[in-house]
């Protein structure tokens, strides 16, 4: 409505302004007419005015009687009671009127301008213009806006319906599924309806549920595996304690043997507890890595010398092949030693008598590579991708909790290095450790 009002004001204002300007200029030119009566000049004034003006022109005398009319001759001689004419005669100024012609109901705008002879108002010049054309224009504009509004409204409605069915529906589905997941139903999956943000949310939620389920399974496996690991030493400790307690021993050597086993088994339990603790610390990155300068060649010699007696006991050839002039690295010497011993421990565990284990090292551009190769039982291909995962183990016939390699992996990544395992089942296993070389100037 406000729009209609503004447009109308604008259009009417324009029409009015044009009429006013024309009426003023025509009426003012009357000064230059011969000093005859208005009655005599009326015809010429009319003719002169209609040449410049696009409107109905009337010349009316001071009594309100029409002297000349450009369109309706029958009005000549009649007295018209028109508000704008009366006001103009009375106030001696221009006066305008907007209304409808009583006979035809046509909307018009009229402007009356006083005609002066000297200081005396002797009549008015009246210009009349129809408003039906303007009204028509206004109607067209309003109609145009109405159609546009209707189209926009329809688009909004359709879009709203479409959005609500593509967003609200799937979001509801996701909410229901999320609630189920929160209650522990982790096998629930949300269908992905559309390839949009909500679809991505569904995929992410499914992924989250799968991760939680996997996590829970690993935890259950761990508890089972730890219980299993605990049972063996505990059974033997309990057995020996009971036997010793029965007091029927006379041989001091037998008592020593029993106590020795109890001591060893207790060590095993302590080791297990330490390993668990260590892994928790490492995986939460809650550990600081000391940076020692490590001469890789000298370090690997030391490791070999430490492990050789065990290898000899198992008749395994523990070889060491080093490149000359190996680089220095910055690393936590004790942690690195822990990694080497862990890997060599595995190799010793899974290599048969008469086999070999080879430690080698070489510099490769800005990295140093340390490899531990063995001729052991190898790792089945299907287990290889998961071998570094925590608690993952291939064979249950060997002791171990599946933490060793994941601890090694964590330690090496804390050193910004990589640990890679390759293996051929039945032939042997190779562990490659890549560590960044520290420039001599930074040592």
For the bound state, the minimum distance from the C-beta of residue 420 to ligand ADP, rounded and expressed in Å, comes to 13
Region binding ligand ADP by CB under 6 A among candidate stretches 103-111, 281-289, 360-368, 394-402 = 394-402
| Cβ atoms of residues 216 and 186 within 8 Å | yes
In the complex with ligand ADP, which residue's Cβ is closer, 58 or 406?
A: 406
| Cβ atoms of residues 379 and 340 within 8 Å | no
Member of 402, 433, 435, 437 binding ligand ADP (CB under 6 A): 402
For ligand ADP, the binding residues in 48-77 under the rule CB under 6 A are none
The count of residues interacting with ligand ADP (CB under 6 A) is: 21
For the bound state, the minimum distance from the C-beta of residue 399 to ligand ADP, rounded and expressed in Å, comes to 7
For the bound state, the minimum distance from the C-beta of residue 409 to ligand ADP, rounded and expressed in Å, comes to 9
Of 183, 182, 186, nearest in space to 207 by CA: 186
CA distance 57 to 128: 6
Member of 59, 85, 377, 412 binding ligand ADP (CB under 6 A): 377
What residue is closest to ligand ADP based on CB?
400
For the bound state, the minimum distance from the C-beta of residue 429 to ligand ADP, rounded and expressed in Å, comes to 4
For the bound state, the minimum distance from the C-beta of residue 319 to ligand ADP, rounded and expressed in Å, comes to 15
In the complex with ligand ADP, which residue's Cβ is closer, 173 or 383?
A: 383
In the complex with ligand ADP, which residue's Cβ is closer, 37 or 413?
A: 413
Member of 114, 233, 376, 417 binding ligand ADP (CB under 6 A): 376
Region binding ligand ADP by CB under 6 A among candidate stretches 22-30, 310-318, 358-366, 377-385 = 377-385
For the bound state, the minimum distance from the C-beta of residue 211 to ligand ADP, rounded and expressed in Å, comes to 21
CA distance 161 to 169: 11
Q: Answer yes or no whether residue 375 interacts with ligand ADP by CB under 6 A.
A: no
For the bound state, the minimum distance from the C-beta of residue 166 to ligand ADP, rounded and expressed in Å, comes to 47
Of 220, 234, 306, nearest in space to 268 by CA: 234
Q: Answer yes or no whether residue 429 interacts with ligand ADP by CB under 6 A.
A: yes
Q: Answer yes or no whether residue 344 interacts with ligand ADP by CB under 6 A.
A: no
Region binding ligand ADP by CB under 6 A among candidate stretches 71-79, 167-175, 202-210, 342-350 = 342-350
For ligand ADP, the binding residues in 211-250 under the rule CB under 6 A are none
Q: Answer yes or no whether residue 279 interacts with ligand ADP by CB under 6 A.
A: no
In the complex with ligand ADP, which residue's Cβ is closer, 206 or 401?
A: 401
Place of tokens 């020593």: 256
In the complex with ligand ADP, which residue's Cβ is closer, 123 or 400?
A: 400
| Cβ atoms of residues 320 and 360 within 8 Å | yes
Member of 84, 373, 374, 410 binding ligand ADP (CB under 6 A): 374
In the complex with ligand ADP, which residue's Cβ is closer, 88 or 429?
A: 429
| Cβ atoms of residues 85 and 124 within 8 Å | yes
Member of 350, 369, 373, 438 binding ligand ADP (CB under 6 A): 350
Q: Answer yes or no whether residue 355 interacts with ligand ADP by CB under 6 A.
A: no
For the bound state, the minimum distance from the C-beta of residue 371 to ligand ADP, rounded and expressed in Å, comes to 12
For the bound state, the minimum distance from the C-beta of residue 392 to ligand ADP, rounded and expressed in Å, comes to 6
Member of 170, 258, 355, 404 binding ligand ADP (CB under 6 A): 404
For the bound state, the minimum distance from the C-beta of residue 364 to ligand ADP, rounded and expressed in Å, comes to 23
Distances (CA, A) of 396 to 130, 225, 264, 401, 438: 105, 9, 21, 9, 40
Member of 368, 403, 412, 433 binding ligand ADP (CB under 6 A): 403
Q: Answer yes or no whether residue 347 interacts with ligand ADP by CB under 6 A.
A: yes
| Cβ atoms of residues 302 and 335 within 8 Å | no
Q: Answer yes or no whether residue 405 interacts with ligand ADP by CB under 6 A.
A: yes
Q: Footprint of ligand ADP on this chain (CB under 6 A)? A: 346-347, 350, 374, 376-379, 387, 392-395, 400-406, 429
């Amino acid at each position: 409505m406000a729009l209609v009002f503004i447009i109308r004001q604008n259009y009417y204002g324009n029409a009015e302004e044009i009429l006013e300007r024309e009426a003023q200029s025509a009426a003012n030119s009357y000064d230059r007419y011969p000093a005859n009566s208005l009655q005599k000049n009326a015809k010429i004034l009319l003719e002169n005015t209609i040449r410049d003006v696009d409107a109905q022109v009337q010349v009316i005398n001071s009594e309100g009687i029409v002297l000349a009319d450009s369109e309706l001759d029958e009005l000549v001689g009649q007295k018209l009671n028109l508000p704008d004419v009366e006001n103009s005669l009375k106030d001696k100024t221009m006066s305008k009127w907007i209304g409808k012609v009583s006979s035809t109901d046509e909307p018009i705008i009229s402007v009356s301008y006083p005609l002066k002879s000297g200081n005396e108002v002797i009549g008015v010049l009246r210009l009349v213009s129809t408003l039906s054309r303007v009204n028509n224009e206004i109607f067209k504009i309003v109609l145009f806006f109405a159609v546009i509004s209707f189209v926009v409204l329809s688009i909004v409605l359709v879009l709203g319906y479409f959005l609500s069915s593509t967003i609200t529906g799937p979001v509801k589905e996701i909410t229901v599924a999320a609630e189920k997941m929160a209650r522990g139903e982790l096998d629930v999956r949300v269908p992905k309806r559309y390839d949009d943000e909500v679809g991505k949310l569904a995929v992410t939620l499914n992924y989250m549920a799968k991760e939680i389920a996997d996590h829970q399974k690993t935890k259950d496996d761990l508890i089972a595996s730890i219980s299993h690991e605990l049972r063996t030493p505990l059974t033997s400790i309990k057995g020996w304690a009971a036997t010793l307690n029965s007091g029927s021993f006379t041989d001091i050597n037998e008592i020593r043997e029993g106590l020795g086993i109890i001591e060893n088994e207790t060590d095993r339990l302590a080791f297990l507890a330490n390993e668990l603790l260590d892994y928790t610390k490492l995986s939460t990155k809650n550990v600081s890595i000391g940076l020692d300068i490590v001469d890789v060649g000298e370090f690997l010699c030391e490791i070999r010398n430490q492990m050789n007696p065990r290898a000899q006991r198992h008749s395994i050839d523990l070889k060491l092949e080093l490149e000359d002039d190996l680089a220095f690295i910055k690393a936590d010497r004790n942690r690195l030693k822990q990694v080497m011993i862990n890997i060599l421990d595995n190799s010793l565990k899974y290599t048969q008598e008469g086999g070999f284990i080879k430690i080698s090292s070489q510099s490769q551009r800005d990295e140093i590579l340390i490899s531990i190769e063995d001729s052991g039982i190898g790792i089945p291909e299907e287990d290889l991708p998961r071998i570094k995962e925590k608690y993952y183990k291939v064979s249950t016939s060997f002791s171990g909790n599946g933490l060793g390699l994941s601890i090694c992996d964590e330690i090496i990544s804390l050193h910004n290095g990589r640990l890679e395992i390759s293996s051929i089942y039945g032939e042997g296993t190779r562990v490659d450790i890549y560590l960044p070389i520290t420039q001599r100037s930074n040592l």
